[in-house]
Copies of this chain bind each other. A is one copy, B any other.
Amino acid sequence: MTRIKKKDSISISIEDVARRAGVSITTVSRVINKIPSVKEKNKARVLEVIKELNFEPSIFAQRLATGKSNIVALVIPRYEGVFYSFYALELIRGIGTLCDVFKLDLLLHLTDVRSNLSLRGVGGIIFADLIGNRHQLEEALAGNIPCVVINYYVEDLNVSCIAVDNIGGAENAVNYLFSLGHRRIAHIAGDVVTQAAAHRLEGYKRGLKKNNIEVDQKYIFKTDYSRGQARVAVENLFRMPEAPTAVFVASDSMALEVMAVAREMGKNIPVDLSIVGFDDNPSGLYGPVSLTTVRQPLIKMAEEGVKELERLMNMKKGAQDSGSLKTAQFKKVFLPTELVIRESCRAL
């Protein structure tokens, strides 16, 4: 006979509020959802009671009733070279902050290639980079879940993506070095499983070609973004018979390592080697020689990403039912970078 669950629950429900305020639960619901057609007096009373009771509507009930969720999943590859970086942290921070602003719940998904992320109940997804987990994106899209990809430009899928113009940024860096008189320009590339690293490499090549310099594979060092591999790269670089006079490095963290190694080897920066990094990691400001670098608008990317996702989620919400997302306008942008000139390069 004790099947009456009614009031053994700890949390107060909309019903409690209704009773106390002397209105129906419908009215309370209206107040919660800011539906204008409520008499001012009732509204005030309800709000008062809500405050008194410290009532918060159950998100589960709301979502069950509406079928809508404002949970946003952030899917980040648990991939070392990428995850342990200024980039990842800045992105998480940016997205976290923005979700706060938009009152979205941020679900963090660190993912493997193999992981089968369960997206039950997720209202939208932000994929930060795509490293072997494209199938996850496709699945989500197939499930009609609003998706935004950031830091990766997706050509061939109907999905919004906010990427950084890595190619252009790299090209600028090379142009700059060229304009200073450098001709033997090396590149320490990041892990080319990431699109960013691949694009920076591409931009480097384009930059050279546009200035009629031949691309020389000897001058290209591929790494996994780690400082360790950057170290090896510079060591080899300096040992070359015709050593480069400048190097464009795919990340600031590696660029800093390059500087450190150079100094250890008794070299002078920028006299013996000009360096341009990528990221605009604040660490580049310290040290005896501040780092010239390509600024990447990470926060901006996070912002644009969340805003775009918001848009898609609302669009879906507004639509009659399914399908609407298929015909949505997708946004595909390359955010511009900015060359930040500091002290690590010199004119020949």
Contact = CB atoms under 8 A, between A and B. Distances in A.
Interface of A: 8-10, 56-61, 63-64, 67, 69, 74, 78, 83-84, 86, 88-89, 92-93, 96-97, 100, 105-110, 115, 118, 120-121, 144, 227-228, 231, 257, 260, 263-264, 282-283, 285-288, 321-322
Given A108-B106, A120-B59, A321 B10 contact: yes
Contact of A110 (B56, B84, B86, B96): B96
Given A56-B118, A64-B60, A108 B89 contact: no
Nearest to A323: B10
Contacts of A121: 58-60
A286 B257 contact: yes
A136 to B, nearest CB: 14
A96 B77 CA distance: 11
A84 B89 contact: yes
B100 A110 contact: yes
Contacts of A86: 84
27 contacts: A9-B321, A10-B321, A10-B322, A58-B64, A58-B120, A58-B121, A59-B120, A59-B121, A60-B61, A60-B63, A60-B64, A74-B108, A78-B93, A78-B96, A84-B86, A93-B110, A96-B108, A97-B110, A100-B109, A106-B107, A107-B108, A227-B283, A228-B285, A260-B286, A263-B263, A263-B264, A264-B287
Nearest to A106: B108
A189 to B, nearest CB: 18
A83 B59 CA distance: 29
A271 to B, nearest CB: 15
Among A58, A69, A108, A115, the most chain B Cβ lie within 10 Å of the Cβ of: A108
